[in-house]
Chain A
Amino acid sequence: MGDRIDENGEGIVILSQDGIILQVNPVAEVLFNRPAEQLIGNELGHPVMAGEYSEIELVRANGQTALVEMRVEQTEWDGHPSLLAVLRDVTEQRRITQELNQAKRFNEAIFNALSSHIAVINQTGEIVAVNQAWETFAIENGAHDLKTVGVGSNYFEVCRRAARMGDEWAARALLGLQTVLSGQQAVFELEYPCHHPDKQRWFLMRATSFASDGWPGLVVAHVDITEQKLMIRQEVEQEIVADLAQRRQSELSTLETLARLAPLGRGEEAAVLPTLRERMPERFAELSAQCARLLDLAVQKRTFDIHQSVSGEMQALAEYLGLLKVGPRDVMEIYLDALKSRVSENNVKKSNVYIEEGRVLVLELMGYVLAFYRNYLPPVIRNPIS
Chain B
Amino acid sequence: MDNYLLKLYITGRTVRTERAIFTMQRLCDENLKDHYELVIIDVLEKPHLAEMDKVLATPTLIRELPLPRRRIIGDLSDTQKILNALGLDTGSAGESV
* Interface membership of chain B positions 55-82, coded 1 if the CB is closer than 8 angstroms to chain A and 0 otherwise: 1111111100000001111111110011
Is A385 in contact with chain B by the CB < 8 A criterion? no
User: Complex: how many Å from CA A18 to CA B69?
Assistant: 11
User: Complex: how many Å from CA A349 to CA B44?
Assistant: 78
Question: With a CB–CB cut-off of 8 A, which chain A residues contact B56?
Answer: 21, 32, 39, 42, 44-45, 58-59
Kindly identify which residue among A17, A44, A49, A58 contacts B97, using a CB–CB cutoff of 8 Å: A17
* Interface membership of chain A positions 58-84, coded 1 if the CB is closer than 8 angstroms to chain B and 0 otherwise: 110001010000100000000000000
Kindly identify which residue among A39, A45, A55, A65 contacts B71, using a CB–CB cutoff of 8 Å: A45
Contact between A50 and B77, CB atoms less than 8 A apart: yes
User: Complex: how many Å from CA A42 to CA B81?
Assistant: 23
User: Complex: how many Å from CA A319 to CA B75?
Assistant: 107
Contact between B71 and A56, CB atoms less than 8 A apart: no
User: Complex: how many Å from CA A17 to CA B85?
Assistant: 11
Contact between B11 and A57, CB atoms less than 8 A apart: yes
* Nearest Cβ on chain A to B9's Cβ, whole angstroms: 8
Which of B59, B72, B75, B97 lies at the interface centre, i.e. has the most chain A CB atoms within 10 A of its CB?
A: B75
Contact between A45 and B57, CB atoms less than 8 A apart: yes
With A19-B72, A63-B47 known as contacts, the answer to whether A45 contacts B60 (CB < 8 A) is yes
User: Complex: how many Å from CA A56 to CA B97?
Assistant: 20
Main secondary structure of the interface of B (DSSP, over half): mixed
Is A360 in contact with chain B by the CB < 8 A criterion? no
With A19-B71, A59-B11 known as contacts, the answer to whether A48 contacts B58 (CB < 8 A) is no
Is B28 in contact with chain A by the CB < 8 A criterion? no
With A18-B96, A42-B54, A42-B56 known as contacts, the answer to whether A48 contacts B71 (CB < 8 A) is no
* Nearest Cβ on chain B to A66's Cβ, whole angstroms: 9
Contact between B11 and A47, CB atoms less than 8 A apart: no
Contact between A50 and B74, CB atoms less than 8 A apart: yes
**Interface residues of B, count at CB 8 A:** 29
Name B residues whose Cβ lies closer than 8 Å to a Cβ of A. Answer: 11, 16, 43-44, 47, 50, 54-62, 70-78, 81-82, 85, 96-97
Tally the A-B contacts, defined by beta carbons under 8 Å: 83
User: Complex: how many Å from CA A148 to CA B73?
Assistant: 49
**23 pairs of residues in contact across A and B, judged by CB atoms under 8 Å:** A18-B96, A18-B97, A19-B71, A32-B56, A42-B54, A44-B57, A45-B61, A45-B62, A46-B71, A47-B73, A49-B75, A50-B74, A50-B75, A55-B16, A55-B75, A56-B59, A56-B75, A58-B57, A59-B50, A59-B57, A63-B47, A65-B43, A65-B58
Is A54 in contact with chain B by the CB < 8 A criterion? yes
**Interface residues of A, count at CB 8 A:** 24
Question: With a CB–CB cut-off of 8 A, which chain B residues contact A46?
Answer: 70-73, 85, 97
Contact between A57 and B57, CB atoms less than 8 A apart: yes
Closest to A20 in B: B71
User: Complex: how many Å from CA A56 to CA B59?
Assistant: 6
- Nearest first, the 3 A-B pairs at minimum CB distance are A45-B73, A48-B74, A45-B71
* Interface membership of chain A positions 288-329, coded 1 if the CB is closer than 8 angstroms to chain B and 0 otherwise: 000000000000000000000000000000000000000000
